[in-house]
Amino acid sequence: MRQPAINQLASYQRLQQHVAQARNWQMRDLFTQSPERFPAMTVSAAGLFLDYSKNRVNGTTVTLLCDLARERGLEAQRDAMFAGEKFNNTEKRAVLHTALRAPRTLKLNIDGQDVAQDVHAVLDRMAAFTKRVHSGQWLGYTGKKISDIVNIGIGGSDLGPKMVCLGLRMFAQPGIRMHFVSNVDGHDMDATLKQVNPETTLFIVASKTFTTMETMLNANTARSWFLRSGKEKDLPKHFVAVSTNTEGVKAFGIDTENMFPFWDWVGGRYSVWSAIGLPVALAVGYENFAAFLAGAHAMDAHFRTAPMESNMPMIMGLIGLWNRNFLGLSSLTIAPYHHDLARFPAYLQQLIMESNGKTVMKDGSPVGVATCPALWGDIGTNGQHAYFQLLHQGADVIPIDFIASLKAGHALPGHQDALLANCFAQAEAFMRGKTADEVRDDLRAQKLSDADIEMLVPHRTFPGNRPSNMILMEELTPSALGALIALYEHITFVQGVLWGVNSFDQWGVELGKVLAQNIQQELTGEVMPERHDSSTNGLIARARAAK
């Protein structure tokens, strides 16, 4: 049945009336008017704490947003996803990344298959394999222990495990160095191969079909490099696969006993919980990988059961939609105040923008409103000395998600207090800003002349009223990171449901792949360029001439 565009809903119309007042609110005033604002606008779940009080919302706003979610049937659609309905309608697939981190006792059948049994059979194999590598039972072709692991993948087969391995650096297994190669640009593989020894290196080739162009080009390059030292009979000791293509894996030279499968109902950007997470288990140990899964499952349980008004993913999803569709804010920046979360903004770029960067609903009709904001970010303290200037005084208002850990994973004195002070101060500064009169008072205290003061006032005034969320964890542990990732997965789902888009396909990605295959044949001279515009033909000609 065709569903209406979100802006046709009665609850959406009420929010449009409400925002006419909200646009004039100053968050300073909202805090003054409501001493209970902070406790009223905080949520705890799965070891995470959310403060969303520094947004341009009040209790009425939240109530109206929840009305919109209910009119859209958010809770019923959430339940349908967890039940294994074919939520990805364009590919006729269920969406069950949540089943990857559920306990063995889960009872869920998909097309006659016991999902929990299948999932835990693979997890058990991952656990056994990880133990063999760490214990030294798995040896390279010259009898030496594995010291380096190179994951070859792209997209979700790279961003997820790379981000998590860095995020859980403090839990890393001694004696194991992790490397990730995704870029078809040979400089990526070249730099990695110069750091490793073929006698002690294990390659993980991560491609569900074992045909992904970028991954297989890199895998075959690694294979050729290895064969300059070892022999084909040695390949099974140095290459394993995360794939479902048994014949392709066998033809490559990998023992199919060392092929770890996953399923069509696992989307690439939601796959770090599956065998795609094998590098994580190898990097931090299987017990820590299991804790990572458990943290995500705890957030799943919260998302499934918590009332909407105290449901962390729902609240964040609704606040994000309010900022995007009612306040007209087209961008979102992620500011982790933890160095080990350096790759988290890049991970979220794929998760959120590949999922909800759509303009048509699941039935093919126009969404009718703007969808996914442009997402970007960096480590918070680095951002403060770079693009935070634009966030404070630029023409565009850009919401910020601050993420911080209350406890450090190191014992260096002074650093954690300085880090948290910066994080909390920035959030306050974005909310409060600084008025012209406050600037004048500061400058008078510095004994500046009236002329100098008035010259400086416009430059040192901050409008404030810039929205932000603050997400805190006690410490960056495997469980906390699992919960954090699952939180953003569910935020993405919430917003996709509200906009009516399919958050689980990515046809825009597929178009570029098809065109690249054609152009690659033209660059190598297999076929002559044709059916392109003059610009593309001209670029191909220049590239061919450069050879």
Angle at 17 between CA 12 and CA 20, to 5 degrees: 125
Residue 529 burial by Cβ neighbours in a 10 Å radius (0-12, 13-18, 19+):
middle
> Measuring CA to CA, which residue among 257, 260, 178, 187 is closest to residue 221?
187
Angle at 177 between CA 173 and CA 179, to 5 degrees: 130
- Check if 86 is active-site: no
At which residue do the structure tokens 């039972």 appear? 137
Catalytic residue chosen out of the listed positions 187, 385, 447, 547: 385
Integer Cα distance of 41 and 312 in angstroms:
11
Integer Cα distance of 414 and 286 in angstroms:
33
Integer Cα distance of 25 and 33 in angstroms:
11
Integer Cα distance of 266 and 369 in angstroms:
29
Residue 32: both structure tokens together = 């003054």
Q: CB of 196 within 8 A of CB of 245?
A: no
Secondary structure of residue 505 in the 3-state scheme: coil
Other Cβ atoms within 10 Å of 346 Cβ, number: 17
Integer Cα distance of 35 and 29 in angstroms:
11
- What are the φ and ψ backbone dihedral angles of 431, each rounded to 5 degrees? -75, -50
Say how many CA atoms lie within 13 Å of 60 toward its Cβ: 9
Angle at 462 between CA 460 and CA 463, to 5 degrees: 150
- Check if 120 is active-site: no
Residue 167: both structure tokens together = 């995020």
Q: CB of 260 within 8 A of CB of 6?
A: no
Secondary structure of residue 368 in the 3-state scheme: coil
Integer Cα distance of 374 and 155 in angstroms:
18
Positions of E strands within 477-520: none
- Check if 513 is active-site: yes
Say how many CA atoms lie within 13 Å of 338 toward its Cβ: 29
> Measuring CA to CA, which residue among 148, 152, 181, 178 is closest to residue 165?
178
> Measuring CA to CA, which residue among 451, 108, 479 is closest to residue 298?
479
Q: CB of 77 within 8 A of CB of 71?
A: no
Long-range contact pairs involving 416-419 (C-beta distance under 8 Å, separation at least 24): 419/337, 419/381
Catalytic residue chosen out of the listed positions 199, 214, 354, 522: 354
Beta bridge partners of 201: 148
Q: 3-state DSSP: the chain helix, strand, coil percent, rounded to 5?
A: 55, 10, 35
Say how many CA atoms lie within 13 Å of 230 toward its Cβ: 24
Q: Known catalytic residues?
A: 354, 385, 513
